[in-house]
Amino acid sequence: MLTIYNSMSRCKEVFKPLHPGHAGMYVCGPTVYGDAHLGHARPAITFDVLYRYLTHLGYKVRYVRNITDVGHLEHDADEGEDKIAKKARLEQLEPMEVVQHYLNRYHRDMEALNVLPPSIEPHASGHIIEQIEYIKKILDAGYAYVSDGSVYFDVPKFNADYGYGRLSGRDIDELLSATRALDGQSEKRNPADFALWKKASPEHIMHWPSPWSEGFPGWHLECSTMGEKYLGTKFDIHGGGMDLKFPHHECEIAQSVAHNGTPAVHYWMHNNMITIDGQKMGKSLGNFITLEQFFTGNHPKLQQAYPPMVLRFFILQAHYRGTVDFSNEALQGAQTALRRMMEGYRRLRDLRPSETSDIDVADLKRRCYEALDDDLNTPVALAVLFDAVRVINQVNDGTAHATRADIDALRDLMDTFLGDIMGIRLDQDDAASIKPYEEAVDLLLEIRREAKSRKDWTTSDLIRDRLARIGFSVKDTKDGGFEWSLN
Amino acid sequence: MLTIYNSMSRCKEVFKPLHPGHAGMYVCGPTVYGDAHLGHARPAITFDVLYRYLTHLGYKVRYVRNITDVGHLEHDADEGEDKIAKKARLEQLEPMEVVQHYLNRYHRDMEALNVLPPSIEPHASGHIIEQIEYIKKILDAGYAYVSDGSVYFDVPKFNADYGYGRLSGRDIDELLSATRALDGQSEKRNPADFALWKKASPEHIMHWPSPWSEGFPGWHLECSTMGEKYLGTKFDIHGGGMDLKFPHHECEIAQSVAHNGTPAVHYWMHNNMITIDGQKMGKSLGNFITLEQFFTGNHPKLQQAYPPMVLRFFILQAHYRGTVDFSNEALQGAQTALRRMMEGYRRLRDLRPSETSDIDVADLKRRCYEALDDDLNTPVALAVLFDAVRVINQVNDGTAHATRADIDALRDLMDTFLGDIMGIRLDQDDAASIKPYEEAVDLLLEIRREAKSRKDWTTSDLIRDRLARIGFSVKDTKDGGFEWSLN
């Protein structure tokens, strides 16, 4: 029985889908005006695991993750330049060239992290009509007003009727009575109001016709609109980073309640932040390390390159609601742990079955489900899989025994939970092409053993020394065989 | 001086960009309701080479390739079901899930073929407002009429004022006087008229509000609209498959002339078809082999799997305006030719420089430019590169000599023309990870030579037989060394 922590109720709840057998989830995706950094990897991986787990449990999942390509202004505010248009101006490109460039790179990074593509990846700029229609209905309902060609959401009115700020727990009275900032926000009746539609200033290059002005939609609107278009007026899960709770998700809630008279989302889920030197890693703070920099090691704070699967493992080692602090030590720890896990996995194929078993795979499996059912507790699930690795090693050493069926069940356990659900790549793509080479190395070591048995030390030493120089480590095993690995 | 064949003027013309230093190109992309097949690979690769070559020549290229995700009806007609909506109905998915699924797979196939992503990849469904505004202007200009909530382009009127059918060379009088088909086209004044906007029937699930009806845009409209949005009212190059000349491109021309009073496109370029058993390979004909089937060999007509680079090479071996007939023999020929080319390329790194040179790299380079400048004559450019391989082999055999500078120039020639411009991947990603294994195989063969010299036939035969069984072929060379390759 899957339970998930609902940020709205602030407790773990049993997941009950609105439509039996189906699950709808919406997750806030990136604003594509720069490369993705480690902070972007966390929601992507967290909700990828949820998507994979729901699918594994048999749900037909529709997973919508949007691309923000218009309307997201600097400082997440209602005034200022559009983040993408600014980048386009600086790089002398058409804004959609900027969007395409960074979207392609985002996809490449996500694929490297083995994050599955969502079912639908709608673009904000591709849903302008839908957003205009959405605004019309909020205006008709009386929760928005037109001001000099722009449309603003009326937060005090909404608060009086429905309450505003529940998700983030903000003190709404304080918000509403805040001193009006003197920065040209005079179009708004109240500083807490937010833009649904903005009239484009002459230098604003992305704009569309609307009943109110040639302009563009407010940043919060796309998620309410596209969530409803693709998942319906009510859907199961809305996810995103904790930093989006306010104002973004609070505004989404206000919009959909004003639009439909009822909230859209059943379960709100929020992943915690990645910190660096104790501060949130963020694009606007300038303290980020991009995923590509991690993959190549090309950043002053990085002592080495970290392969994508190490980053994924690192993120899975913490529960998604806890903070994760970046450090080289922690990443190197993840790398060592992942290597140990993968060695166990590969050892599976060489295990010799016994007539009887003294291992309990069913219990390991039960504990994996228990961990994931407990609000996606991936660190506990990984700990169970390390127990499985310990069992594999014992069978390998002969200190435990497993039947063929149990060995197959162990493999299935790893394939399912480590591979399918937690998304660690178990078969590297080049595995097939490497195979003949691996057999060539095996042959070398056979020849070495043969040479040793003939006391041909020249050949035996030559093979040992040259393999070491190339980068192979060779370990003799007790039974007179050998194991090798590539450093 | 680059010349390209302009399908409109029916002759080769010197390429003169509208804006010096810049090149704008628009190419018709896929309708994403199924997997891409070999027929889709051809325009993608043809215009990828053009994009790469223009970039190489120093142009700042804006390359727009659209995604058709709405409005493309069965049989390319104005009546019937939307291709994507039909697929969605059959698979019980939301249409945009179908779009996302096949778009992801299209991108994966294109990446495998080393086709660069275009600068902008706009979706038809993401530009409904722009299409509505475009229709309004055509209506205002008098070249369209509203009929029961739909809007049709008035072909006879346009023909009288500007002429219709020039690109495809159709007999327009015959078209206009054709007997009216009795299939519910009665909304049209003339059967040659085509839809700009269609009122959605009740079962049509993709629709948007418009001044005329809740409906969707006609198939031809998106290209005129998005071409103008991202490249301007006049731009340099429009490309696509020859089968799109009529009606699609003819309708595009009519739309943009009616909209702006002047044609949008300077150079029309069309690639020829892939045929199979003498017939065009096409989705609607059902005689296609998907790219994935080629990559895996999983199709009754395929004798083996063909790696993506073999397909690319196969397509480059023909000029883009000639037909290419699929056959296993032709693909196997391409595979052998590509292997010979790549062997030459890899041999470059082992060439020993001499004090003097008797080879002429500058001439090879000149001939490569000459070939590509002649309407992208890739088969001739490849023939020149085979001449370069012959030179490399001669230097390798000692029958010709090259200085360090000339060897570097040869490498640069191959990197530039084979790699950068024709897009053959020269460095496989796994090259680095394979390196130590290659050295291990070298070591095995050294030990074998050593064993032979000691007349230790047991060891020498063991190595030979086992390597053969694993799949390596070993060839002894004249100088007492060896060469090996993996089958």
Hey, which bits of A139-214 come out as E strands? Answer: 144-147, 150-153, 194-199
Contact assessment for residue A232 and residue A24, using Cβ atoms and an 8 Å cutoff:
yes
B470:A440 CB<8 A: yes
Gap between the Cα atoms of A391 and A396, Å rounded: 8
Q: What is the pLDDT of residues B316-364, one digit of tens each?
A: 999 999 999 999 999 999 999 999 999 999 899 889 999 999 999 999 9
Phi/psi at A88 (5° precision): -65, -40
* Residue for token pair 């290597």: A339
Q: Is the pLDDT of residue B429 over 50?
A: no
Lowest mean pLDDT among A185-189, A287-291, B194-198: A185-189
Domain locations in chain A as residue ranges = 17-271, 276-421, 431-486
pLDDT computed for residue A179 by the predictor = 52
- Compute the distance between CA of residue B241 and CA of residue B174 in angstroms, rounded to an integer: 24
Query: Measured between CB atoms, does A227 come within 8 Å of chain B?
Result: no
Burial class (CB in 10 A: 0-12, 13-18, 19+), B75: exposed
CB neighbour class for A145 (10 Å; exposed up to 12, middle 13-18, buried from 19): middle
Contacts made by residues A478-483, CB under 8 angstroms, sequence distance 24+:
A480/A449, A482/A445, A482/A449
CA A415 to CA B366: how far, in whole Å? 55
Question: Contact A444/B439, CB-based, under 8 Å?
Answer: no
Query: What rounded mean pLDDT belongs to chain B?
Result: 93
A243 token code pair: 């930093």
pLDDT at position B483: 78
Evaluate if residue B46 carries a pLDDT over 60: yes
Dihedral sign, CA of A275, A279, A281, A286?
Answer: negative
The pLDDT value given to residue A427: 77
For tokens 């079912």, name the residue.
Answer: A119
Beta pairing partners, A473: A485
pLDDT single digits (tens) B149-182: 999 999 999 999 999 999 999 888 888 876 555 4
Question: Does residue A17 register a pLDDT over 50?
Answer: yes
Distances in Å between the alpha carbon of B106 and those of A118, A421, B29, B446, B447? 15, 25, 10, 46, 48
Residue B205 host element (H or E): none
Residues of B in contact with A105 (CB under 8 A): none
CATH number of this structure's domain A17-271, picked from the four choices 3.40.50.620, 3.20.20.80, 3.20.20.70, 2.30.33.40: 3.40.50.620
Contacts of B62 in chain A (CB under 8 A): 94, 97
Interface of A with B in 407-436 (CB under 8 A): 430, 433-434, 436
Identify the residue whose tokens are 């369209």: B144
CB contact under 8 A, A104 and B117: yes
Instruction: Please tell me which residue, B222 or A431, carries the higher pLDDT value.
Output: B222
pLDDT of res. B288: 94
Q: Tell me how far apart the alpha carbons of residues A310 and A407 are, in angstroms, rounded to a whole number.
A: 26
Q: What's the pLDDT band for B428 if we cut at 50, 70, 90?
A: low
**Tell me, which fold does domain B3-271 have in CATH?**
Rossmann fold (3.40.50)
Q: B355: how many CB neighbours lie within 10 A of its CB? A: 7
> Inter-chain contact B129–A125, Cβ cutoff 8 Å?
no
pLDDT of residue A173: 83
Q: What is the pLDDT of residue A177?
A: 78
Contact B443 A443 (CB under 8 A): no
Q: Do B120 and A462 make contact, defined as CB atoms within 8 angstroms?
A: no
Q: Is the dihedral of CA B335, B337, B341, B343 positive or negative?
A: positive
Residue B423, token pair as written in the block = 């897009």
B132 close to B77: Cβ distance less than 8 angstroms = no
Q: CB pairs below 8 Å between A and B: how many?
A: 116
Q: What is the DSSP string of A27-54?
A: E---B-SS--BHHHHHHHHHHHHHHHHH
Does B455 contact A at CB distance below 8 Å?
no
CA A110/CA B108 separation, integer angstroms: 13
Q: What is the DSSP letter of A455?
A: T
State the Cα–Cα distance between residues B218 and B134, nearest whole angstrom.
Answer: 12
Determine, for residues A471 and B436 on separate chains, whether the beta-carbon distance falls below 8 Å: yes
Among left, alpha and beta (phi > 0; psi -120 to 50; other), residue A51 is: alpha
Q: What are the φ and ψ backbone dihedral angles of A137, each rounded to 5 degrees? A: -70, -35
Label residue B430 by pLDDT band (50, 70, 90): very low
- Pick from A199, A180, A177: nearest CA to A188: A180
State whether A447 and B459 contact (CB < 8 Å): yes
Residues of A numbered 300-329 whose beta carbons fall under 8 angstroms of chain B's beta carbons: which are they? none
| Identity of the residue numbered A209 | P
Residue B93 has pLDDT above 70, yes or no: yes
Using a CB cutoff of 8 Å and minimum separation of 24, what contacts does B14-18 make? B15/B236, B15/B267, B17/B59, B17/B236, B18/B234, B18/B235, B18/B236, B18/B266
Q: Does A397 touch chain B (CB under 8 A)?
A: no
Chain B from 58 to 117: CB within 8 A of any A CB: 62, 94, 96-97, 99-101, 104, 107, 117
- pLDDT (tens digit per residue) in B385-401: 999 999 999 999 999 99
CA distance A236 to A51: 12
Q: In B, which residues are within 8 Å of A444 by CB distance?
A: 440, 443-444, 447
Confidence at residue B183, expressed as pLDDT on a 0 to 100 scale: 52
Confidence band for A428, pLDDT divided at 50, 70 and 90: low
Give the nearest partner residue to A120 out of B100, B470, B471, using CB atoms.
B100
* Chain B neighbors of A96, CB-CB under 8 A: 120, 122, 230
Question: What is the reported pLDDT for B186?
Answer: 74
> What's the rounded mean pLDDT across residues B439-446?
88
Residue B100 C-alpha, separation from nearest chain A C-alpha, in angstroms: 6
Distance (Å, whole) CA A469 – CA B436: 10
Nearest-Cα residue of chain B relative to residue A461: B447
B285 pLDDT more than 70: yes
pLDDT confidence of residue A433? 61
Q: Does A186 touch chain B (CB under 8 A)?
A: no
pLDDT of B241 above 60? yes
User: What distance, in Å, lies between the first and last C-alpha atoms of chain A?
Assistant: 43
Nearest-neighbour CA in chain B from A67: distance (Å) = 12
What is the C-alpha radius of gyration for chain B, rounded to an integer number of angstroms?
27
Could you report the per-residue pLDDT of A324-341, keeping only the tens digit for each?
A: 999 999 999 999 999 999
Tell me if chain A has a CB within 8 Å of the CB of B19.
no
User: Which of B103, B230, B450, B459 to substitute to test the interface with A, most A CBs within 10 Å?
Assistant: B459
What is the percentage of chain A residues whose pLDDT exceeds 90? 76
What's residue B284's pLDDT? 80
Q: Which of A62, A96, A441 is the closest to B437 by Cβ?
A: A441
pLDDT-derived band at A430 (thresholds 50, 70, 90) equals very low
pLDDT tens-digit readout, A182-236: 455 578 999 999 999 999 998 888 999 999 999 999 999 999 999 999 999 999 9
Q: State residue A409's pLDDT score.
A: 98
Comparing CB atoms, the residue among B100, B441, B462 nearest residue A440 is B441
| CA pair distance A191, B168, nearest whole angstrom | 60
Q: Is A181 a residue whose pLDDT tops 60?
A: no
| Per-residue confidence band for A79, with pLDDT thresholds at 50, 70 and 90 | confident
Q: What is the CATH number of domain B276-421?
A: 1.20.120.640
- Cβ atoms within 10 A of the Cβ of A322, count? 10
Query: Would an 8 Å CB–CB cutoff place A405 in contact with chain B?
Result: no
Structure-token match 């839908």, residue found: A130
Sequence-distant (≥ 6) Cβ neighbours of residue B51 within 8 angstroms: B25, B61, B63, B116, B118
Q: Which helix (H) or strand (E) holds A70?
A: none
